[in-house]
């Protein structure tokens, strides 16, 4: 798309659409489920109320936003793809498009590091980041004092949202399900599916002892998350460490939520230097078309971002066992409903969702 953009600092179109997600104020709710793949987004969206018909937007940059109602309460589901950069686009552009508090739950897949069976659902109370240290001399390691990988301090999930999520998952889990629910663990988000998760390839990654090191350094570490997990079963195999899970996006979500709480300045109204670039989204209109939205001072002062995560364990690094495609669908169904129920149980005092275009 070739719409004219305004403000090179934070690009928007003239009708206030943001650069990557393509949404504008009025198209996203205060309560949000974020996933990696469109198929998982559509699975969760299948539980939304039939009326009003959900609003659907596919951006040129590969983001999918579905906004509707669940038990009468506005909810958005956003598929962001893979990696912390995409999580950064998502959180920042949503924050500038929605007034009031945000409650965001990441529903993703991961690999297990300890004795956790594939099919287990893990809800971490904190997350660390594992990143490849580009200052390390991977070609001549004997001449380098730098570590090959950096491990961050843990960042906590929102306690209230996490507690609601755990309760909602237990309530949503079918009596016939053999999946376990584990909470109170630490998740690790890696910047690579391979090197930062201790996988061995032909590259000299110097990661042979990385998993063992992580397990000794981080108490209650159970899972690894990489941004490369998607719903295609054979592309979704992930590694499991001694913390509960390793993946790639959750740490950045928790980090930005924590940073927002600590900010000292409030964002201001958008102004207009000009540039051009691709922005036009593909929109499936609901029965109530989106009205023209004038610029608004977003977000409100003193608003908060509540963030939590749920990780479906797809594979065990220790046993080499994998989840079956049938298990994936079963867990996605009840876990998705649990996430939706958790979100509607969270009070948002500055909720402006009733003003959105699909209401």
Domain ranges in the chain are 5-223+241-265+302-345
Main-chain dihedrals φ then ψ at residue 350, nearest 5 degrees: -100, 25
3-state secondary structure of 16: coil
Structurally, what CATH architecture does the domain formed by 5-223+241-265+302-345 represent?
3-Layer(aba) Sandwich (3.40)
pTM of this structure: 0.83
| Per-residue CA distances from 252 to 10, 97, 249 (Å) | 20, 19, 6
Per-residue pLDDT band for 277 (boundaries 50, 70, 90) equals very low
pLDDT for 196 beyond 70: yes
3-state secondary structure of 252: helix
* Cα 263–Cα 267–Cα 270 angle in degrees, nearest 5: 160
pLDDT for 265 beyond 70: no
Return the pLDDT at 117.
Answer: 87
Burial 139-165 (b: 16+ CB within 10 A, else e): eeeeeeeeebbbbeebbebbeebbbbb
Choose among 101, 75, 29, 65: nearest CA to 299: 101
* Integer Cα distance of 31 and 104 in angstroms: 6
pLDDT for 134 beyond 90: yes
pLDDT for 6 beyond 50: yes
* Integer Cα distance of 14 and 5 in angstroms: 7
Return the pLDDT at 183.
Answer: 94
The mean predicted confidence, pLDDT, of the chain is 82
Task: Identify the residue with better confidence: 227 or 207.
Answer: 207
pLDDT tens digit sequence for 96-130: 899 999 999 999 988 777 678 888 999 999 999 99
Main-chain dihedrals φ then ψ at residue 216, nearest 5 degrees: -80, -25
pLDDT tens digit sequence for 54-77: 999 999 899 999 999 999 999 999
* Integer Cα distance of 123 and 291 in angstroms: 38
* Integer Cα distance of 83 and 225 in angstroms: 10
Q: In the numeric block, which tokens belong to residue 79?
A: 């598929």
What is the CB neighbour count within 10 angstroms for residue 116?
A: 27
Choose among 37, 13, 39: nearest CA to 27: 13
* Integer Cα distance of 132 and 198 in angstroms: 11
pLDDT tens digit sequence for 139-172: 999 888 899 999 999 999 999 999 999 999 999 9
């Amino acid at each position: 798309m070739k719409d004219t953009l305004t403000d090179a600092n934070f690009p928007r179109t003239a009708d206030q659409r943001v650069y990557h997600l393509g949404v504008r104020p009025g198209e996203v709710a205060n309560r949000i489920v974020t996933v990696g793949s469109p198929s998982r987004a559509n699975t969760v969206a299948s539980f939304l109320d039939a009326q009003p018909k959900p609003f659907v937007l596919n951006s040129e940059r590969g983001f999918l936003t579905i906004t509707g109602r669940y038990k009468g309460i506005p909810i958005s589901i956003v598929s962001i793809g893979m990696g912390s950069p995409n999580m950064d686009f998502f959180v920042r552009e949503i924050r500038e498009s929605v007034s009031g508090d945000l409650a965001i739950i990441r529903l993703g897949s991961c690999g297990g590091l300890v004795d956790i069976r594939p099919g287990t659902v893990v809800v971490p109370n904190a997350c660390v980041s594992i990143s490849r240290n580009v200052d390390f001399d991977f070609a001549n390691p004997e001449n380098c004092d730098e570590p090959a990988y950096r491990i961050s301090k843990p960042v906590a999930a929102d306690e209230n949202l996490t507690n609601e999520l755990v309760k909602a998952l237990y309530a949503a889990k079918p009596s016939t399900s053999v999946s376990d629910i584990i909470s109170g663990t630490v998740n690790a988000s890696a910047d690579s599916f391979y090197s930062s998760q201790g996988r061995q390839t032909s590259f000299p990654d110097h990661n042979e002892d990385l998993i063992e090191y992580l397990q000794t350094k981080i108490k209650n570490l159970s899972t690894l998350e990489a941004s490369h997990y998607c719903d295609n079963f054979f592309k979704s195999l992930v590694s499991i460490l001694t913390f509960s899970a390793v993946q790639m996006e959750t740490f950045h979500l928790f980090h930005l939520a924590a940073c927002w709480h600590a900010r000292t300045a409030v964002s201001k109204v958008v102004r207009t230097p000009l540039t051009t670039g691709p922005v036009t989204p593909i929109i499936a209109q609901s029965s109530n078309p989106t009205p023209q939205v004038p610029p608004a001072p977003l977000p409100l002062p003193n608003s908060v971002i509540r963030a939590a995560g749920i990780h479906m364990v797809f594979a065990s690094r220790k046993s080499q066992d994998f989840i079956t495609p049938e298990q994936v669908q079963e867990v996605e169904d009840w876990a998705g409903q649990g996430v939706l129920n958790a979100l509607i149980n969270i009070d948002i005092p500055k909720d402006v969702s009733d003003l959105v275009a699909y209401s």
